[in-house]
A and B are shown apart, each in its own frame.
Chain A
Amino acid sequence: MAKFRENLITNCEKKFIIKNLEDHTRLDGRAFDEFRELSIDFGRDWGCCYVSLGKTRVLAQVSCEIQRPKSSRLSEGILSINVELNPLGASHFESGRNSELQVVMNRILEKCVKDSRAVDMESLCIKINEKVWAFRVDINILNHEGNLLDCASIALLAALAHFRRPDVSCDGEETIVHSYAERDAIRTVIHHYPVCITYALFKEGTVVLADPTLLEEGVADASLILGINSYKEVCTLHLGGKALMDPENILKCTSKAAHRASLLVTEIKTVLKQDDERRVQGQINSFQSFKHAQGTKSLDTLTKYLDQWSVQKRKRDSKRKNTENGTVQPLGKGSAVLLPVEDDGAKSWKPSSDENESDSCS
């Protein structure tokens, strides 16, 4: 089912893009190392984050529950990252689990965030060996216009940083979970912010494009995915495709990516701070980027209709269908039957005038 409903990239599109690369131009006019515009939005719930990178859109949501810890790590919490290729994102995305792209994305994000120990898992422990917090991050891809991993990793980090878990108090036997209304919720402790940066490689690694669009991704020979944090530490490096790249080029890319990573992390932290300030002031505006949409302050025309509305005493409709009578008869131990009463004087069959009486030869 891999090629089902997928928009294939035509040969002339491929040739066009490669020819443009030889002339040092990209279709959307960016430089080879320029990234698309990024915007991060938060929703009303804690841990709900909507990121758009160019036209790619991703929604991440963090949820938590209390579980037994894994037997190999008794004093650490559990973090599970789940990328959902929502059918909204592209016509060939299915909600099932077998997609290769989904597995690759899940694995890279896990390597980047979990294996690099970005989130402090010890702080999620409630009672050693018995109860820990299990965080689950669901990342929904809403629109696929290239570079899903970058967008997803930014959404993942922003959602984790934004999320507050409920406060827990443990007195000997019982653990009481306090709701958000009772006690202030607790932030997640994040040591460092590793973001993923993707580069598309053409012509045996000589041409490197940052932040590829959907078309550029489809035409590329290979892709280089780097997970870097703002301290210039590389957490993940993934080179896939027909890659025959010179190590010098990889090091050059990495230093550029490091610069970009620190910009991204600053951006995430700024947006988080702004959201915090807004919440402190009591304005919880969700999904700001959509607020510049056409809307109605209140449905003005609605009041015109509702002014005429009033509760009316209705007369019960006197016309009814033939009231059905039935008889209930017991049928022995533990059984009974409800039989409809047979109608006497049933209407006789009248042939309709437009019946085709054609007898087929048989």
Chain B
Amino acid sequence: MAKQFKSLHPTKFYRDYLNQDIRPDGRLVSKFRPVIINIGSIATADGSALVRIGKTTVICGIKAELCPPKPEKPNEGFLICNVELPPLCSSKFRPGPPSDLAQITTRFVADLILNSGCINLKDLCIVKEKLVWCLYADIICLDHDGCIIDACLLVLLTALKTVRLPVVQYDAAIDKKTIDASVKKCLNIYNTPVSTTYAMFEDKIITDPTTEEEEISSGLLTVVVKDKELCSIHKPGGSPLSEEKLYECINETVNHADLLITLINTAVSECNDDNKNC
């Protein structure tokens, strides 16, 4: 009976639940889903992480390559992010060129990482004008159940924390690189931007929505916070939102950010027991 009702009147179905301040899966309206982080899952990559927010699963692998820098920026390395939403993760995506959502998420995550200053591209420089590190970060979604931006940002940050780069000696005279694989250095991460997504449904705000809730919602809001400072408030259209509700959401995110940062640090420290030079 409930299934038929849900497919015939999806908005009334959700409205009835939300009037009681609870969601169909039993969560309260302001409750987050459990988050699981796992690092080092891809042994061949220089840094990797896997994040699960509820059912949304995203994996990130970072590979490092050596290359000459751009002539306009001779002492900066590269960090190239790419978010893929393959047909595997949801029936909404078809095989072929990247969908609009994948392109937007890539652009948003890439901009955020660089704008927030969490890594400094100058750290990736080995020899000015000759040799720099280029990090390719591939983020692949394995299961899409809402909050894709949160998951991508979290997984990219965790993976960056686990990157281990070997020390490189470069002899400019004879153009020879010697890579010392035994000694590895971590990247300097200056701050941790983390985010939460909210969905607006009529006049209620739902925290951490699933895909179904995102689809029936009339707008989405993503708040990105780093160390008590705001990094981005991304509300790409949707129904109008009053300022009081907006500031409430920002406060919630600031509180939740601390827990997420503790989570990342716990997971990373679990693996760092036998690591040097960090």
Binding site for B on A (CB under 8 A): 317, 319-324, 326, 328, 330-340, 343, 346-347, 349-350, 352, 355
Contacts and interface: CB of A to CB of B under 8 A. Distances in A.
B20 interface: yes
Contacts of B266: 328, 330, 336
Contacts of B33: 340
B270 A333 contact: yes
Closest 4 CB pairs of A and B: A336-B267, A336-B266, A338-B35, A334-B271
B232 interface: no
B14 to A, nearest CB: 13
B36 A331 contact: yes
Given A332-B270, A336-B263, A350-B20, A322 B30 contact: yes
B32 A340 contact: yes
A interface, by DSSP: helix, strand, loop or mixed?
Answer: loop
Contacts of B270: 330, 332-336
Contacts of A335: 36-39, 267, 270
A352 B271 CA distance: 51
Given A317-B247, A324-B255, A330-B270, A338 B260 contact: yes
B248 to A, nearest CB: 6
Contact of A323 (B16, B35, B40, B255): B255
A338 B263 contact: yes
B256 interface: yes
B22 interface: yes
A321 B30 contact: yes
B278 interface: no
Contacts of A321: 30, 248, 251-252
Contacts of A333: 270-271
A326 B259 CA distance: 7
Interface of B: 16, 19-22, 28, 30-41, 244, 247-248, 251-252, 255-256, 259-260, 262-263, 266-267, 270-271
B273 to A, nearest CB: 9
Contacts of A340: 31-34
A335 B271 CA distance: 8
Nearest to A329: B266
A340 B262 CA distance: 14
B36 A352 contact: no
A62 B39 CA distance: 48
Contacts of A326: 32, 256, 259
Contacts of A317: 244, 247-248, 251
A259 B101 CA distance: 54
A89 B201 CA distance: 38
Contact of A320 (B31, B35, B251): B251
A321 B249 CA distance: 9
25 contacts: A319-B248, A320-B248, A320-B251, A321-B248, A321-B251, A322-B30, A323-B252, A324-B30, A324-B256, A324-B259, A326-B32, A330-B266, A334-B39, A334-B40, A335-B37, A335-B39, A336-B37, A338-B262, A338-B263, A340-B31, A340-B34, A343-B28, A346-B28, A347-B22, A352-B16
A350 B17 CA distance: 10
A328 B247 contact: no
